[in-house]
Amino acid sequence: MDIYGAVIDNETRCVHYHTEKDIIAIKFKCCNRYYPCYKCHEEQADHDIKRWPQEQFDEWAILCGSCHTELTIRQYMNTTCCPQCKASFNERCTAHYPIYFEQSAHEE
């Protein structure tokens, strides 16, 4: 799986986010490419971010950097760790959901 952006290790950490729990990459709807974060996308892509619509939250769009298992957006949003390897995800990433995923009116 190709990961684009300023990746610094084989668990998808990047120069912007590199704590022990920063181990996911997100497939961006706009270009179908995995990036560790929106900042990496902004630095390398030549287009704006297109958010995943709610009706596509069952698409495989999250990659666990620890075991390289793909998760659906819905699976990712409903867990705090990888269902395969149990590696913990950064719970603060929820603050960035509106960048990646369309939110219902009460969530924005």
The confidence score (pLDDT) of residue 105 equals 62
3-state secondary structure of 33: strand
Radius of gyration of the chain from its Cα atoms, rounded to whole angstroms:
13
Task: Enter the tokens of residue 21.
Answer: 């729990």
The confidence score (pLDDT) of residue 104 equals 79
C-alpha pair distances (Å), 12 with each of 4, 8, 17, 56, 108: 9, 7, 9, 23, 27
Task: Enter the tokens of residue 56.
Answer: 């596509």
Parallel, antiparallel or unpaired: strands 60-64 and 24-28: antiparallel
For residue 52, is pLDDT > 60? Answer: yes
Are 65 and 81 in contact by the 8 Å Cβ rule? The answer is no
Instruction: Give 66-89 pLDDT, tens digit per residue.
Output: 999 999 999 999 999 999 999 999
Question: Where do the DSSP E strands lie in the chain?
Answer: 24-28, 33-35, 60-64, 70-72
Instruction: Give 7-24 pLDDT, tens digit per residue.
Output: 999 999 999 999 999 999
**Which distant-in-sequence residues (6+ apart) come within 8 Å of 106 by Cβ?**
none
